[in-house]
Structures are given as structure tokens and as C-alpha cells.
Structure 1
Amino acid sequence: MKLLLSLLVFSFLTACSVGNLPNNLSRSMMNQEDPEVVAAGAPAYLLLLDALILTYPDDEEFLLAGARLYGAYAGVFAEDESQAKLMANKAMDYARRALCEYDDDLCLATEGQLDELTTLLNDEYDEDDVPVVYAFASAWAGWIQANSDDWNAIAQVGKVKAMMQWVVGYEPDYDNATVQVYLGVLETQLPPSLGGKPEVGRNYFEQALAYTNDRHLMAKVLFAKQYARLLFDQELHDRLLQETLDADPEMEGLTLINTLAQRQAAELLAESAEYFE
């Protein structure tokens, strides 16, 4: 068995250069239609990336790949809140290290005041910086979600939102418009009476669907879960979920998340009558 595993790792590494490995790992996972395959294989991917980061501790690409995969595992496959928090913390650590390797000033600004971060982004950075800013903001959003019982974490939402909005200013359809989905969720966390902006969130969800020709199924599910449930709109809720279930989940870069969206849609739709009664 050990020999077989060694051969598998060797053949995998020789099939693609080490430099291409992070992107190939992410792409292979995102295009997998069977979540169980990813759930079973993801720990091995994570250990492999940990080893690469130990070997190349200053490599931004490996650090960002580690942040993405640990963040994805925390959000989708973690078995409980404790494991989700550990994974999200690891993702955030890798993302911050990558950002600090990339640019000291921007790294420092994320720890300062919101207006200082926003001013720096607008004055000093451009579309070339979008990938690293988005990767860091994504990991940060996941970390806040995993630590939602900590008000110090919740207080950082404004900075994440500012970074995501900055990305939208350059590439509104970035990451298959998932940047729009992040913003939709951030704006629908609270009802209007507590400072939430659900109509702004609705616009972000609709933008995500427009940019992907309705193919981003998790955008539909979160639109239903975050917005329709918040405003108690059962007709919209059930329509979005049924459309998700009726859709073809296969799409480059979204197949895995679309498949998971369909599973979640089935669960939410089954609860609909009880929720809205």
C-alpha cells in the first residue's frame, strides 16, 4: 500500500511541474462532480501543500493555494465547528503570509483603520493586484464566518467588504462572479433594522447570476437562504431552489460547488413549508 501511494504521488508530481501544482490542484477539485471524491482526497492535497510550504515557506503561490484549499475544506467538508475553525485559521494564516510576502504596506494596512485601507487600495494598487487581494479577502471572510461567535472577528467585516468591492471595481465577474456572491452574503447577514442592506445584497446575487448566465448555482442557493428567508419571501425562495435543482451543474470552475449547491437546495426546499408557516 505504501509503495502504491508513493507511486501515485510520484506520477502526480511528474505529470505537472511543481510550479503548476497549486492551480492544478484547485482546478481538479473545482471541476470534480463527486463531492465524496474531493472529501476523501482533500486531506492528502492539504498535507501535500503543507509539505510544499514547509519546503518553500516564502512562495506566494503555494501559500495562496494552501489558503484556498484550507478555506474550501473549512466551508464545505469540516465535520464540526471546531474543525471548521481550525481549518479557517490555517487558511487565514497562509493568506496573510502570502499577502505580506507580496506587499508589506498592504499587509500592514489590513491591520489598521478601514479608511486607511480603502485609500491605500484606491491610490496604490490596480488590476494586477486583484488575485492576491481577492484571495486574502476570501480567506478573511471564511475566517470571520468560522469565528462568528467572536465580536472582534465580526468587527472586521467592513474591511473584507471594502477589499471585495475594490476587486469588483476592476473585475466584476472575477472568479466566475463569486466575488459578487461574497458581497451578497456580506450585505444580507443582518435585517435592515440592525444595519443590513438586503436590497444591495440582492443586487450582488443578481449580478453574479447575470455574469454567469444563471450557471452559478450556489449564488441561487445563497440568494434564497440569505435574502429570501431574511425577507420572508417564500415564492422567490422556492423558485430559486427549484431552478437550482433543475439545472445542469457542470461548468468549468464551478462543477463541485454547483453539485454541493444542489444538495443544499434540496434540503432547504424540503424545509420551506415549515420555515415559512
Structure 2
Amino acid sequence: MGKLFGYLLLLVMGLSSCALVDKAAIKTTANIMQKGSDQLLYEPDWYFFKESAPGNLKLIEGMWFADQKNKQLLGLLVKGYSAYTFAVLETQAIRDQILGNSETLIRQRVLMNYEKAIEYGFKYLELMGISREDFLNKSFPQTLEKTFLAKASDEDYVTLFYFAQAMGSSLNNQRQNMDKLAYLNHVKLFMQWVCSVKPDIEYGNCKLFDAILEATTPRVLGGNMAKAQKKFKEAIKLRPENLLIRLSYIQYYLIPLLEEEEFSVEMERLRKDLGYWYSSVQGIKNREKLKYDKTKIYNLFNSVARQKYRKLLKLRKEIF
């Protein structure tokens, strides 16, 4: 994928003249990039994704700068920054998140990069005919469904999902910011609406992020850990090969409740299944590993789970 984007960069540069880029060429290139973007989900090497994603995002930003009405490029930027921040930066920040260290550089980078996804999301909404002011209006939750049903088409839902995920994850990383938390209801209703229209969008991740939102919502604002547990269990049952869901159950449900015994049980189960998955992507085959050969679409998710699992192992004594 890195070579593909490098080739596309050369293509765009070759079509430039006097700092003006042919928008038709950008549109064609953006279409290719959008159609190929899901290939990244098959990537089993977390380190490769971590190192290659920023360069690809800057390439897309450069193209968007030359064609700021291009919805495909904006959609790629919303998805790209949201996914990169969750998969890479939040993985690197997991110790600080769990121990409540909010002022570290990595926590600041998490917020900064989610903010990029959110800002591009608002620009995307503007192209749909929905202003930032309208979306943030306190009365908008009452008209949200009607507005989006009138404005949204099938091509918009993936971007809207990642926009909602970026906003929800950003709030989760700054729960002490009461000004931001004032929009929590917006975010929850927005995510719920997107997922009600497209419940299987992005390979079932609606249920994962809905569960995370429920678990991380403060109790005084309506959060319910029993509901969160139920949502996690349902998501795990539907997507057992997506090991990031089980890791998230440990991180967002078991650890906050200090459930050490179940933590031990789930971590051991996860250790075994991550081992089967990792052997599968290395080409080592047996009956337990065959199921992961059929679900390679979860490779990137599982690579994130593996990195977070290793960090949680080291944190155990500090958590409990």
C-alpha cells in the first residue's frame, strides 16, 4: 500500500503545472484511493501501519488542499485520522489513559489528531449542506434523524461513522472537559443513528464503538456499565475473530471495575487466540488457525489488539 500511494503522489506531481493541479486527475486518483482504502485492514503488521499511515495522510491532505470540494478526499481524511489515532496513538497512550495521566505528550497527540478528523468531518458536513453551527446547536439531536435522512446518501455513511467515532473517542480522552462533554448526547445519538441505518458498516465496528461509548460515559451523564457489558458480549459473539473487541472489553469494562479474576481469565483466552492469529499470518497452519485465514479483514484490528495486550500485561501490577 505504501508503494501504491508513493506512485499516486508521483502521478499527481506529474500532472501539476505552475502549482495548479488538474482536478480531474485528483478526482480519478481519489477514486482509486477510496476503492483501495480497505486493503489496509488486511495488514497484520502494526509497526508497518504505524510508520506508513502518516505519509499517506499527508499525501491525501496535499491533494485535498488543491481540491477542497472533493468529498472523497475529505472522507479519506476523516477515516484515516480517526483510524490512525485509535489504532496507533491510543495504543501508545494506553498506560497514561488507564492510570489517568492526562498531560503527557502522547495524550496531547491523541487529542490533536482526533481534532484533525473532526475538523475534516465538519468540512464534509458542510458539503452535505449541514453547517457546524447547526450540528452543534443544542436542539439538533431532536432533528438529527430527519436532517441526515434528507441529506445523506449511501456514499456518506462510512465518513459519518468515523466522524462520530472521532468525536466519541476525543470526548473519552478528555472527560474532565465539561464544555466538550456537553456534546456527549450529540455524539451518542449520532453514532446510534448511523449504526441503526447501517448496522454492519465497517465490518461490525458499530457495536464495538457503541459499547465503548456506553462504558466510558460518566454515570452522572447516563453511562451504564451493565449495558456496556451486554453490548460488548453481543459484539464478541457476532465477531469472535475480531480480537480487538475482546481486548476492548478488558480495557473499558473489566479494568475500570477492577475485576481482577475475570481479567486473568480473559487475558489468558486472548493470549491463546492472539497466538493462533499471529501464527496464521506467519503462514503456520493448523485447525485452530484456519478460521483466521478466512477472516483476514480483521488483521489490522488484531494487530492492534496484540500491541495493547502486551502493554496491559506489563501494567497489571499498577492496575490492581
TM-score by length of 1: 0.82
Q: How does 1:175-190 map to 2 (within 5 A)?
A: 175-189=202-216
Return the alpha-carbon distance in structure 2 between the equivalents of residues 168 and 272 of structure 1: 34
Mapped to 2, the partners of 1:124 and 1:11 lie a distance apart of 36
Equivalence map 1:160-199=2 (5 Å): 160-189=187-216, 192=219, 195-199=222-226
User: Where does 1:256-267 land on structure 2 (aligned, <5 Å)?
Assistant: 256-267=300-311
- Give deviations 1:88-111, integer Å, cap 9, x for gaps: 211111111112212326x55421
Q: RCO (CA 8 Å, sep 6+): is it higher in 1 or 2?
A: 2
Distance in structure 2 (CA, Å) of the matches to 1:62 and 1:92? 14
Identify the residue that residue 29 of structure 1 maps to in structure 2: 40
Equivalent pairs: percent with the same residue? 19
Task: Kindly state the Cα deviation for residue 164 of structure 1 after the two structures are TM-superposed.
Answer: 1.4
1:68 is displaced (CA, Å) by 1.5
Change (3 A) 1:133 1:59: same
Shift of 1:81: 2.3
Instruction: State which of 63, 71, 76 in structure 2 corresponds to 1:60.
Output: 71
Length, aligned pairs only: 267
Larger Rg: 2
Partner of 2:262: 236
Alpha-carbon spacing, 1:236–1:119, altered in 2? closer, same or farther (3 Å):
farther
- Residues 44, 235 of structure 1: alpha-carbon distance in 2 compared, 3 angstrom cutoff: same
Aligned partner letter, 1:112: N
CA contact (8 A) 2:75 2:124 kept: yes
> Does the 8 Å contact 1:63/1:95 carry over to 2?
yes
Between 1:231-240 and 1:95-104, the stretch displaced more is 231-240
The Cα of 1:55 is off from its aligned counterpart by: 1.6
- The gaps in structure 2 that reach 5 residues or longer are 14-24, 90-104, 279-291
Which residue, 99, 110, 115 being the options, matches 2:135? 110
Name the amino acid aligned to 1:264. K
2:236 maps to which of 205, 209, 221: 209
Note the residue ranges of structure 1 that are not aligned, 5 or more in a row: none
Instruction: Determine helix, strand or coil for the equivalent of 2:297.
Output: coil
Match of 1:82 in 2: 108
TM superposition shift of 1:48? 0.5
- Corresponding residue to 2:62 among 51, 67, 84: 51
* Cα contact 2:46–2:304 (8 A) shared by 1: yes
Matches of 2:261 and 2:153 in 1, distance apart? 39
Q: CA deviation at 1:70?
A: 1.5
Deviations 1:64-83 (A, max 9, x none): 11111122232343472232
Q: Once the 2 structures are TM-superposed, how far is the Cα of residue 257 of structure 1 from its aligned partner?
A: 2.0
> Partners of 1:230 and 1:61 in 2: how far apart?
39
The amino acid across from 1:20 in the alignment is I
Taking the aligned partners of 1:42 and 1:123, their CA distance within structure 2 comes to: 33
Kindly indicate whether the alpha-carbon contact (under 8 Å) linking 1:121 and 1:166 is maintained by their aligned counterparts in 2.
yes
Query: In the aligned structure 2, how far is the partner of 1:60 from the partner of 1:127?
Result: 12
* Partner amino acid, structure 2, of 1:267: K
CA contact (8 A) 2:9 2:59 kept: no
Mapped partners of 2:306, 2:144: distance in 1: 40
Amino acid at match of 1:232: L
Q: Is the 8 A contact 1:95 1:139 kept in 2?
A: no
TM-score if structure 2 supplies the norm length? Answer: 0.72
Deviation for aligned residue 1:203: 1.8
Q: Which amino acid aligns with 1:77?
A: V
Alignment of 1:130 with 2:157, yes or no, is yes
